[in-house]
Amino acid sequence: MDLRSLEKSVKINLMGKWKGVIVLLIIAALVTWGLLNLSKIMNAVQGKYTAWKTQRQIAALERPYKTDKIGGQTPEETFDMFIEALKKEDIELASKYFVLQKQDEWEKTLGEYKKNNLLANFVLELENTEKTWEKSKKNNENAIEFNSYIEVEKDSVIKFQNQEFPVESGSYLNVTRFEKYPMGVWKISVL
């Protein structure tokens, strides 16, 4: 082996070693940077995961509102459908004319009315109330309110769910409010 080839061989070995050292330094710098920024990276990943999970939960909660088709194209139509369901004593269907968050409560209440043979009187009261409805001035395209006044001629006591409620004579405001759902149907929100 001559001197020139030996010099070339040494230069190649030194360059190869320096390349290895440079690669190791780059890897060490990346590892150090990663360790120093690990909490930021984890927070970013966790934040995106939490946002994704929350978005899925919101979508699951909104789905019933966005797909609900039970109700009329007008508040009056919904109210009439509600009364017809009550006349047939279909409590489950009647409760579905209410906004979703009140359906279970109204199914229970209407079940009590049925059990105590009060549905016919309730239907009569609703029909009479509807005849005296006046549209409120607070209405918009997604919420409509009807007001009517009820005259109670003498003091009385109403019994419901093993409780007694005194009712004094006088004039009482009855408010019936409807909300429009995304599918275009109207639901009863206040009765």
14-23: per-residue pLDDT in tens?
Answer: 555 666 667 7
Rounded to whole angstroms, what are the CA distances from 69 to 30, 61, 66, 94, 184?
A: 57, 16, 9, 14, 8
User: Averaged over 151-174, what is the pLDDT?
Assistant: 82
Pair (48, 112) in one structural domain? no
74 and 58 housed in the same domain: no
Number of domains in the chain: 2
**What is the SS3 assignment for 85?**
helix
How many Å apart are CA 5 and CA 167, to the nearest integer? Answer: 115
Mark whether 58 and 120 lie in a shared domain: no
User: Quick one: tokens of 83?
Assistant: 């009364």
State the residue range of the domain holding 108. Answer: 68-190
Q: Is the pTM of this model over 0.75?
A: no
pLDDT reported for residue 43: 80
DSSP H or E run through 154: none
Are 125 and 83 found together in one domain?
Answer: yes
Whether residues 170 and 148 fall in one domain: yes
Look over the chain and give the mean of its residue pLDDT values, rounded to a whole number: 85
Residues 162, 128 within the same domain = yes
Q: Tell whether 14 and 103 lie within a shared domain.
A: no
Are residue 57 and residue 133 in the same domain, yes or no? no
The verdict on 143 and 105 lying in the same domain is yes
Of the three residues 38, 66, 94, the one that is the final residue of a domain is 66
